[in-house]
Amino acid sequence: MSLIRRNPAHEMTKWGHEFPAFRGFESLRRDMNRMFDEFFRGDISVEESFFNRDWLPAVDIAENNNEYIIKAELPGLQKDDVKISIENNILTIRGERKNEQEKKETNYHRIERSYGMFERSFAVPGTVKTSEIDAQFKDGILTLTLPKAEETKPKMIDVKVK
């Protein structure tokens, strides 16, 4: 069992700075899991097996006046391999990429692509209409569109100069 590299401070800066709404939630959850594991079992390694996360897909997040757009790179996966859920304003993307070829008479020259389970969670701002989140999956990219509630969109107010 290897040690886990963990740097919540980095994650906070990365997401906290540019997209305060989408601050990485993983570090907090990991902290909570660590706390529970230590409390009940006194065994930190349980944390790793509990999470069983082998790779962390890259994610781009953008925002415009009407919506937030999350794009996750999930090459080699199909629609049914990915599960998206939202609970308590926490959006979670999880799934698994299986290593499809485990044949005999095979020489592996390079294995750089990640396989296994993944999970990424994001704290979604309260201004998102969670019932209208749209998900599309194409060419290994998962695109989530999170529409903003009407009242939070920027408005132009005409000021008449007399």
Please, which residue, 20 or 140, has the CB nearer to other proteins? 140
Interacting residues of 62 by C-beta distance below 8 A, sequence separation 6+: 68, 69, 71
User: Which region, left, alpha or beta, applies to residue 20 given φ > 0 means left and ψ of -120 to 50 means alpha?
Assistant: alpha
Least spacing, CB of residue 41 vs other proteins, in Å = 35
Instruction: State both tokens at 68.
Output: 């937030």
**Hey, which residues between 53 and 72 contact other proteins (CB under 8 A)?**
60, 62, 64, 69, 71
Bin 42: left if φ > 0, else alpha if -120 < ψ < 50, else beta: left
Burial class (CB in 10 A: 0-12, 13-18, 19+), 157: exposed
Residues 86-125 that bind other proteins (CB under 8 A): 101, 103, 105-114
17 touches other proteins by CB under 8 A: no
Q: Which of 18, 31, 43, 73 binds other proteins (CB under 8 A)?
A: 73
Q: Residue 49 interacts with other proteins (CB under 8 A)?
A: no
Does position 139 interact with other proteins (CB under 8 A)? The reply is: yes
Chain positions contacting other proteins, by CB under 8 A: 60, 62, 64, 69, 71, 73-78, 101, 103, 105-114, 138-141
